[in-house]
Structure formats: structure tokens, C-alpha cells
Structure 1
Amino acid sequence: MAIRCFVLDDEPLATDLLKEYISRLPDLQLVGVSNSPTQALLFLQQNAVDILFLDIQMPRLTGFDLLRPLNNRPKVIFTTAFREYALDSYEFDVVDFLVKPISFERFLQSVGKIYRFLPNSSPQPEVAETTRPAKEYQYFKVDKEMIKIDLDDILWIESLKDYVRIHTISGSLVSYLRISYLEEKLPPNKFVRIHKSFIVSLHHVQAIAASYIRVNNEELPIGRIYKARLDEILQGN
């Protein structure tokens, strides 16, 4: 069952970011987005929403003011640049309180909490304390699907201008993303950019030479401007 989400923030850049995050997760269904608190209030009074991603400080109507008249109040994840609202926010039985700028990793933590608050959603499996830590993963849009890939399975990533080809231990796929975006989002302790066209997984590196890195028996070139950073990482290891 899809979790119906609504995003309200008076800043278009903030709503665009949350829309992009929500689009990566197939369990979430975006049913509305607004930069106007008054328009959002009318929508929420007439439509069922499971999770409301809500800014607090907005013109004419704060996030707190918007919630008070709602009879069927959705669960709320506050998104704000002001930490001082944290205590006041818990008057509304919030799921989480996110402080801008919001990373995708922090967004995922909030989404994980949703399953504890929504009785009709499928519960996430509990993990015994003695089991290994859960694998890190990322969702990638491939054609019309969001494909989940364990980060440990990625060998290297190849730039195709506005797209990337992700090479994994089980094959490759193409996703509509820029390599510069992934360079910022992937954990730096696991991945390093070695060229304008390549990011490699440090775990899967087989050999390193002056001009190339070998991964999965493929020699990938090391760009001149990336060599100093690569040497710094290798010396740290």
C-alpha cells in the first residue's frame, strides 16, 4: 500500500528537493505539492494524506497554524531551517523534525520511522541485534522503475553526460543522473572520483598504477586533477 505524501514549503527549491527524494522511493506516493499554506490547507481539509512534509516559518500561516484546524491530521515531518522550533513541534505528535539542508540519508531515516506510525502500512522487518548491520543502498531511476542497488555491489560508475552507467557485480544499468550529483551523495569512505567520467568503489579496486585503476579486470583512467585526492585517500588507508 502506497504512503500518500504532501509537501508544503514556501520555497520552491525546498519542495523540488523533497519531490526528488520522494520519487526515489516506490513506497511513497506524492499526492500534492504547494508553496502556499492557504491553498495547502484547503487541499488537506478535503483529501486524505498519510504524511505531511511541512515547513514551519511561512508567510501568513505558519506550519503550526495550519495543523491546528485539521480534524483528520496526517502524521507530520517538519522541515525547517530553525532548530528552535523543535520542542514546540512535538505538541503535534510529529514523526520527525528535519533541519535544512536535508540530506537524502537523513530523509531516509525519517521515512523509516513512518512504518511505526501508520497501522495500514507494511511493517519493516526487525533485525536482531546479533545480525550484521543493514547494507547501505540507493534507489536509481531506470526507465519507469526505481531500482534498489546495494552500494557494496557497485563496481564503478561511468558518466554519459546527463546519464550514468552503473556497473555492478551482476551487470550494468543506465540511470538519469549526473555523475557530479552522485559524487556528492555517495559515501566518501567507499567511493572516489578518479576521472571526469568515472567514480570507483574502493572496495573493488584490484590494482593501482600511475595512470589507471583496475576494477573487475577493467583499466579505468586516472584524471590529472583527481590524482592528488586519490593519493590522499590511499595514504589514509
Structure 2
Amino acid sequence: MGLRIRVMVVDDVAVQRMVMRRLIGQHSFLEWIGEADGAEKALVMIDELNPDVLLLDVQMPGLTGLELFASLKNPPKVVFASAWPTYAVDAFTLDAVDYLLKPVSPERFASTAKRLERLFTEDENPAVRHEPMDRICVRSTERTIFLPLPTVASLKADGDFTWVRDVQQPAILACRRIGEFEEILPSPPFIRLDRSLIINLERVAKVERLSRNGAQVWLRGLEEPVEIGRTALARLQEVMKVP
């Protein structure tokens, strides 16, 4: 018998529960096992059904989804869903597998399904990589923002922080080491060229060699090129198969 991941849905809105049930049904390794319309009913059903995964709304009457999950002694894996990105940091603090923004498209849910599939098939349970069409949660000292991965052009280490350059807004100094980003970003298209730099290969427009030991990489959507040294240039030539 193949992989079966048993999923329980908790959402106070009946239409949202129906949508989630249909999305679950599009993936053969996911099995819908029940649904609850609030925390009180959910607590009873979780004990009875012992789901592998909770697909959990955040804003509900009574206990929120975050409060409900935090109260569980032996919690299953959890995917939170909300119409607001505000709660994402709290969700990932609780080791959420993913955070879905409503309305959830089939394509976005497919990324979540793949993350769950890898999570339940990896023996050592490593960090789960995002899919190329995911959004990534980036937290700075001032704000938290979700960035679509296709618009992220490069990431540059700055000590314990990382400069994230996105084509839709100014650079963000993220409170995360570049190695942590490397663990969760899909590769390809994100390639680490050296100890301090990751670029999105799908945004490479041209490479201009400055000398034997360096070059400029022009990324679509950014006005300024990225300067790279000999090690990074050699790695870029390897992955792009260019002279």
C-alpha cells in the first residue's frame, strides 16, 4: 500500500471546509478523515481520529487555530490557513509545515501537498524545501512579508542576517542566516554560488566577465548587477553550462 497521509480540516466556515476537502481529494496520497467547525469539536475529534495532519484555520470563534494547536500535548503536523498574512510568524514558531493564504488555489495547495509528501517519506525529516511557485516568509526587524519566490532575485549574507533582493520592492535585511535560506529554497532555480550569495537562475539576464577572477551578473528586474568573484563565477558557469 502506498503513502497515505490522514488529514483533518478545522474551519468555522462551511464553504472553506468544502474547498479544502476538494483540494485534498486531488492528491491520491492525502486522505480526508473528518472536519470540525470549531476548537471544542476539534479537540474531541483529534483524540478520536488521531490525524497525521491538521489543516487548520487561524481565526475562529473561541480558541483561535494557533491557540488550539498550542494546547495539544502530542500534536500532529499542521498547515495553517488564513485570509491574513499577519499570523505567519506565530504559525512558523509552532513549526507549521506551511501557511496558506485564502483563497487557496489548486496550484498553491499542490505545493503544500508535495511538502507533506516529502515530509512523510524522508527518514531523517530534514527541513522541507519550498516549491518554485511558493511564497516565502521573510522577517526583518521592522516587518514580516510574504514574497513570491519567482520575484526573489538574490540573497546576500551579512553576518547573521541576509539581504533579500526582490524585484517588486527595496532590499530586505532578513533575520535569518543564508544557510537557513539554502535549506528551504528550491534548487534549482536557487543556486548558492559561494558562501555569501544565492541567486535565482531564472532571473539571470546576462553575465559580463570583468576579468579572469570576476564578473557582473545582471538579474531581470534589478537595476544594479551582482558582483561575483572567481569561485562564484566558476559555479555559475557550471550550472548554466556556459564558457
TM-score (norm 2): 0.48
TM-score (norm 1): 0.49
